[in-house]
Amino acid sequence: MSRIPVTKTPKAYVGGKFIRSESGRVFPLNNKRGQFLCNIPECTRKDTRNAVEVAGKAGGAWASRTSYNRGQILYRLGEMMEARAEELAQAVAITGAVTLAAARREVASTIDRVVYYSGWTDKYEQVLGNTNPVAGPFFNFSVTEPVGVIGVFASDSPSLLGLISQVLPIITSGNSVVALASSTNPYPAVLLGEMLATSDLPGGVLNILTGFRDELLETFASHEHIRGLDLSLDVDGKKQAEILAAESIKRLKVREQENTRYWSSEKAQSVYAIRSFLEFKTTWHPIGV
């Protein structure tokens, strides 16, 4: 008789810790034949609030790390993922929505994307910032700064590549993130949380919730401490999010709820994705004695 395997309880990843929802609620994840796979935490407004709080605390320290150090940490994340690539592929394919072969390609692209952004940490400033030759005796320069806590609704499909493609450019520059994983297949995001825990990314910089957009949209869009949103949403959701985000003038990027073709293409990675969640600060100083 074969050994009875130990099953894993999926958990959300907040502040470097693995949590259940404070509500105690879960929802079942089934494969495409309707067979039960596992229970996923159904995170709530309060879970979001807690995640924003830890993201707010972690962000400052993350942003003040050297660019070189941020690059090393993100590259280390790529290494972790590469080592567990097959496990990730299994997770992407777990519901049967994509084939294992497609899942393996997605994981490969995802790891490459992590490496792509890890290389930007100490370069985007050189491309986007500049000194300004003002007409006067002043030294004037514009530098970029992270915006703060950014809320992300990850793409449903691709479930892993979408999440990474949305989140990586945001944390590359020192922002911190509260992300809601794909609702249709949160399992790769759960696994990613486990890899984050063993990478050197400080706890709280990237927080991954599981649950449903409908339930959390209002909280994400209206929470004043969340300074920007990168949301994969349907049309109605977009409008509602933008209306609510207006109250605290959030930086906004809204996208299709799923767009495998886009996220799989090279066009989906860009220094301008980093730029979307940067502030520009211009400093004037006289040149004199």
Contacts with other proteins, residue ranges (CB under 8 A): 127, 130, 132-138, 140, 142, 147, 227, 235, 238-243, 245-249, 251, 267-273, 275, 279-289
DSSP per-residue letters across 115-131 = HHHHTTTTTHHHHH-EE
- For the bound state, the minimum distance from the C-beta of residue 212 to other proteins, rounded and expressed in Å, comes to 20
Q: 3-state DSSP call for residue 240?
A: helix
44 phi and psi angles, rounded to 5 deg: -120, -175
Rounded to whole angstroms, the Cα distance separating 108 from 58 reads 29
As measured in angstroms, the least distance from the Cβ of 269 to other proteins is 8
Residues in CB range of 21: below 8 A, 6 or more apart: 12, 41, 42, 43, 44, 47, 211
Question: Across the strands, what pairs with 281?
Answer: 143
| Residue among 8 and 285 whose Cβ is closer to other proteins | 285
Structure tokens at 112: 């490459």
Smallest distance, other proteins to C-beta of residue 222, A: 12
Looking at the Cβ atoms of 4 and 135, the one nearer to other proteins is: 135
Which one-letter amino acid corresponds to residue 119? G
Task: Please state the closest distance from residue 62 (CB atom) to other proteins, in A.
Answer: 15
Nearer to other proteins, 40 or 55 (CB): 55
d(CA 48, CA 271): 28
Closest CB 239 distance from other proteins, rounded Å: 3
Residue 207: CB minimum distance to other proteins, A:
22
Q: Distance between alpha carbon 185 and the CA centroid of its chain, in Å?
A: 16
Cα 148 to Cα 66, 230, 258, 279, distances in angstroms: 17, 13, 26, 10
Measured between its terminal Cα atoms, the distance across the chain in Å is 86
C-beta closer to other proteins: residue 38 or 115: 115
CB 187 within 8 A of CB 29: yes
* Spatial contact of 154 and 184, defined as CB atoms under 8 Å apart: no
**Local structure of residue 99 (DSSP, 8 states):** -
Tokens coding 133:
């030759």
Report the residue number, 38 or 128, with the smaller CB distance to other proteins. Answer: 128
Q: How far is the CB of 227 from other proteins (least distance, A)?
A: 7
Reduced to 3 states, what is the DSSP secondary structure of residue 120? coil
Q: Considering the complex, what minimum distance in angstroms separates the CB of residue 153 from other proteins?
A: 16
Is the CB of 175 or the CB of 185 nearer to other proteins? 175
Asked whether 174 and 86 are in contact (CB, 8 A), the reply is no
Q: In the complex with other proteins, which residue's Cβ is closer, 24 or 136?
A: 136
Q: Which is nearer to other proteins, 13 or 277 (CB)?
A: 277
